[in-house]
Amino acid sequence: MNDKSTRRQFLDRTGRIIGFTAIGSAAGLLARRASGNAVYQVDPFKCTSCDLCRTSCVLSLSAVKAVNDFEKCGYCMLCPAYMDVNSRPDEKGIPAGKVCPQDALKRRVVGAVDQDDPNNNYYEYVVDETRCDGCGKCVKACKPPAGNGSLRLEIRYTRCVECNECAIQIACPDRAIVSVPAPGMAPMESPVEGKKS
């Protein structure tokens, strides 16, 4: 009995040593490849605003939101991302429908306001993140040549729960969800064409 238990103890100890060595070496091997922190972001050059960001995120309201880059926005009165150009125009000839199904793209008149002619005014377009579900319809409509491409989809880290694997990344047909090192800025230049976003 005593002999058996020492044998058992010896086997256990050997097993433990092997286990620790395996864990240690595997962890060491991986640690060299580890980046401090990798996060997910949308690559605007690959993104085709296909609507899967809205449906695939594990959150009920997707962590992907449209973001307007004001440095590029034209501040137009007739914004193709704001108004649905295919909808029926009202009596002034302005399309009555909106592109955003959630009515998340808000605008306010800015600059010197011309009260008489709304066509003469400039508008600031801001995405209401509490409503935006990341469907990307506005992003699609804003793409050149119709728009300036100032709207793009972005993973908002205030909402993203940083899953082991991003569910949108699995679903994305364009492989547009990329892993980038923190602080998780989207690539600003296309790897192919070298043009700026």
In terms of Cα–Cα distance, which of 152, 112, 104, 107 is closest to 129?
104
**Cβ(107)–Cβ(79) below 8 Å:** yes
Q: Which amino acid is at 17?
A: I
**Cβ(47)–Cβ(178) below 8 Å:** no
User: Which sign does the torsion angle of CA 110, 113, 119, 120 carry?
Assistant: negative
Chain residues 47-76 in contact with other proteins, contact rule CB under 8 A: 58-60, 67-76
* Span from 42-50, 99-107, 131-139, 182-190 in contact with other proteins (CB under 8 A): 182-190
Each residue 134-173 as x (binds other proteins by CB under 8 A) or -, in order, gives ------------x-x-----x-xxx-xxxxxx-x--x---
**Cβ(196)–Cβ(189) below 8 Å:** yes
Q: Does 30 bind other proteins (CB under 8 A)?
A: yes
Q: Does 35 bind other proteins (CB under 8 A)?
A: yes
Q: Does 124 bind other proteins (CB under 8 A)?
A: yes
Measured from the CB of residue 126, what is the shortest distance to other proteins in angstroms? 8
Burial of 163 (C-beta count, 10 Å sphere; 0-12/13-18/19+) = middle
Count the alpha carbons within 13 Å of 164 in the hemisphere toward its beta carbon.
0
Measured from the CB of residue 163, what is the shortest distance to other proteins in angstroms? 4
Q: Does 7 bind other proteins (CB under 8 A)?
A: no
Q: Does 122 bind other proteins (CB under 8 A)?
A: yes
* Span from 46-54, 92-100, 131-139, 188-196 in contact with other proteins (CB under 8 A): 92-100
